[in-house]
Amino acid sequence: MRRRIRRRPALILPGGPIAFPDPEESDDDGLLAVGGDLSIERLMHAYGEGIFPWYDEGVPPLWWSPHPRAVIESDGLHVSKSLRRVLRQRRFRVTFDQDFEGVMRACGRREAGTWIIPEMIDAYLKLHRTGLAHSFEVWSGTELAGGLYGVICGTLFAAESMFHTHTDASKVALAYAVRSLFAAGIELFDVQLLTSHLASMGAVELPRPRYLERVRQASKRPPPALPVELRWWASDEDPDGQPLPLH
């Protein structure tokens, strides 16, 4: 039986140097460091190293780099027959960067508690205002029915969270995000940790060394032109990859 590793996380002082330990020094749960701040510079440096913040209110920031890491590959998105039917019926309207704060706050409304605390919202709103964080919104009429948000670092998109209040709305958001961002030039779509929901949409796991190699390459490349063109297609229905109308 493999012995679990419980390394002591590195301590980062608030306002200290914008640096992290080697992510391979994370413990078995992926915890790498504690402390620091959520400045734009520190957050973007973290994403470029395959690290993200995840913690509760009332404690210092915790920084993670899990092993393995979940991603959706450019050709890996699985769209079920039922979801294709929902998309063809145009039950929802999809937008890009029209209500970032609304999506983030909705993602934080969880009965079991949330890491999307006020200081996280403030930090990611700053990223959004500088063009580094983005959202996909799914609307039912004028109601925000689902969505997801994440951070762009070079050609990496690090998806942070998604939500739905209507059945299938988060799946619609993910389908549009994956197709639209890869079409725009994203090369790595990170979803952090594998869940049954993400696995059903085609997410797979990468060993941390392989993930880190890819994220460091992607983070050094020029980011795609934004805003992205919203699109979804299925190869057996639209082989030319033409955008489908959203209204």
42 in helix, strand or coil?
A: helix
Tokens 């063109």 belong to which residue? 229
pLDDT in tens, 110-139: 776 688 999 999 999 999 999 999 999 999
- Of 236, 242, 247, 243, which Cα lies nearest the Cα of 84? 236
Mean pLDDT, rounded, for 217-232: 88
Residue 6 pLDDT level (bands cut at 50, 70, 90):
low
What predicted TM-score, i.e. pTM, was given to this entire model?
0.89
Residue 233: what pLDDT?
55
- Report the chain's mean pLDDT, rounded to a whole number: 89
Q: Per-residue DSSP letters for 45-101?
A: HHHHTT-EE---TTS--EEE--SSEEEE-TTT----HHHHHHHHHT-SEEEESS-HH
Torsional class of 241: left (φ above 0), alpha (ψ -120 to 50), beta (otherwise) = left
- 231, burial (CB in 10 Å: exposed 0-12, middle 13-18, buried 19+): buried
How many Å apart are CA 232 and CA 236, to the nearest integer? 12
Distances (CA, A) of 71 to 79, 178, 220, 224: 16, 11, 18, 19
On whether the CB atoms of residues 56 and 117 are closer than 8 A, the answer is yes
Domains of the chain: 10-66 (3.30.70.3550), 70-219 (3.40.630.70)
How many Å apart are CA 216 and CA 211, to the nearest integer? 9
